Amino acid sequence: MEENLIEIPQGVAPGIKSQRYANGKWEEIDLSVPKEMSLTIYINSQELVTILCTPLKLKFLVIGYMLAEGIINDIDDITYVFFRRVCVDDAIADVKLKKEDFVLPVKRVLTSGCGGGMNLIDSDIGPKLNSKIYTTPEKLLFLMQQMQQSAVHYRTSGGIHTSAICDSQSIIALEEDIGRHNTIDKIIGECMMRKISTKDKILITSGRISSEMLRKAAKMQTPIIVSLTSPTERAILLAQELNITLVGYARGSHLTVYSKPERLGVVAKC
């Protein structure tokens, strides 16, 4: 696969002058805030989607998005990915697939995430996950703590989501973005580029788990998903259907399991 690199702004914009009010007084301060850019993906000269994202690891984002949406199955399906700058905060990704007869999907749905992207409607999310992976609540809480400590851009500016793919002991890959869906796509893209298997791994994220994010994890064949916050009802139902262990509110010494708790040592009641 051919590719090129463009100069893009960093993930954080420093030196933003602001007025802070505290204890009855105003104070002028300089803050760092998250950068935001729009990235429009063209496939075989056809406009697919525009994603609002953090300008970090855009190649992983584009490749991961295409894999998650079923546009590609492997990195070898791509002839090239070229990026070009439109203006300071806008860029285009020109993707050429080896499949010459690619046709844009007819139905797309706006995601509930803050990345401003679209999901392609795909009822075929694959078979149930029959993974025999086992872990403990303590290990999941440790991994969540490690992810939060490793989120460099969030710690600098706030306002950025983080996701990580892990084994039972440590973080394998970590991504940050203003869009929680984007972090998952970047994880997918990085794992594909680095030839890291996501099967039987643990996916940890700072963002709410919606059905769209659950669907992405299912395509990764990741049997355990852990969030710092809550899943939606639809995500829980989908996780139960696909035998995915869905964990929310993993904070401090607490977590809540919504589906398939046996992987965390919970004995099912008769």
Closest by alpha carbon to 215, among 100, 136, 88, 121?
121
The SS3 assignment for 200 reads: coil
Element (H, E) at 140: helix 137-150
Backbone dihedral angles phi then psi of residue 112, each to the nearest 5 degrees? -90, 0
Closest by alpha carbon to 54, among 141, 147, 180, 194?
180
Count Cβ atoms below 10 Å from residue 114 Cβ, excluding itself: 17
Tell me if 104 sits within 8 A of 48, measured CB to CB: yes
Element (H, E) at 146: helix 137-150
Catalytic-role residue among 114, 166, 191, 270: 114
The runs of H, that is alpha helices, within 48-100 are: 58-68
Is there a catalytic annotation at residue 114? yes
Positions annotated as catalytic residues are 114
